[in-house]
Amino acid sequence: MLGLDTWTPEEVTALANGDVVVRHHATAEKQDLSTTGILMIKGLPAISMEKFRESLSQKGGESMKGGGQFSDPPTFDDLMNLELDKDSIEQLRKCTVGNCDLNLSANMIERFAKEIDWNAGDAGQRATNLFQEMLVTFVQNYLGRGINGLGTFDNRRKTVDLKAAHTSLISNSLFIREIHPNFLQYLEDFPADTLANVQSSMHWSIVDFGLKPSITVSHSAVHTEVTGNEQQHFVASRQIYASRYLDSSLTFSVLLRVFDQNGITTYLVFSDRSRSDALEGPLGGFARGVVQKESAARIKSLLDKVHLRLLYLSRPNETHSTSGAQDSLIDRTLGFAKSRGFALAAVIVVLISLGVAWRWKSRG
């Protein structure tokens, strides 16, 4: 199931010893980064999806400065707590097509230029309100048409086609395609495809990792597949918008129970594929090295922490509060985007790393 026959003897030994093994995968596109982290857990009892999601949750992280879940259907009120920082407002004031610090379409950039009186005393609040309106429309377009409704980013000299970016990420998610192709197909065809027992939701967040904050929007999908008598848990987070650093991101947090000579062994897997033009250009190789080193360390830390939480949550005769994980579903899975959606740790790590890479790129 995990294709461990392709792993090196050193990697297999590390897994057997309870160490996290992280692999960086070669990608056809220079701007793509693909990473997988795996941890083998022996003797772990069966875990419910609710407890698995709770183990992933990292509420209160210093990098997360705000966020929330969109209603169904999304409304303007969902973003009432979203405030643009002063720097972002100033960048919007100066934005032109092909030259803007924030990821926006040409239409968005032109609307900020035409509809906001930047000399007015309430220009900042009006810009914030317009940005909120645009994000709600962006989410509505995605829910109605999937990646076909995402459009483009036109704030740089090179236009970013978001449909093409997400198509590339999902078509190259080979690990998930091997172990659960139906789940990947659901994401690929969303919202046209259906899959039984999938919980789907939309979230926004503000991530501040010490450079400039990024506002992100992500689609979270949760699914449990039964193999024999064992439940296999899949949590996906597709980042469809980030105001800075990332063009697109797709992360998976997976809990697999596999029959082997020892009975049942549990594997905790984190898989991320992200795209950023910070990985292109003269400093692209340097940027990739920074990202891979940082992300490997953070993924190892993330999986070790999730492991400890799983051990705690699996203790019998104890009461655990899981309502928070269900209510927030901003299960911010570490470092690559973001937020919430199980990419909690995932998103933030990669974002931090890509933020460093972007800064070096801008100096060139």
- pLDDT-derived band at 233 (thresholds 50, 70, 90) equals very high
CB 219 within 8 A of CB 142: yes
Task: Answer with the residue of higher pLDDT: 194 or 116.
Answer: 116
User: pLDDT > 70: what percent of the chain?
Assistant: 79
**Preceding amide of 191 cis, omega within 30:** yes
pLDDT at 342: 31
- As a whole number, the mean pLDDT across the chain is 83
Q: Cα separation of 68 and 328, whole Å? A: 7
Find the mean pLDDT for residues 242-256: 92
- pLDDT-derived band at 253 (thresholds 50, 70, 90) equals very high
Q: Cα separation of 223 and 346, whole Å? A: 18
Answer yes or no: is pLDDT of 213 > 80.
Answer: yes
pLDDT at 317: 61
- pLDDT-derived band at 193 (thresholds 50, 70, 90) equals confident
Instruction: Quote the distance between the C-alpha of residue 177 and its chain's center.
Output: 18
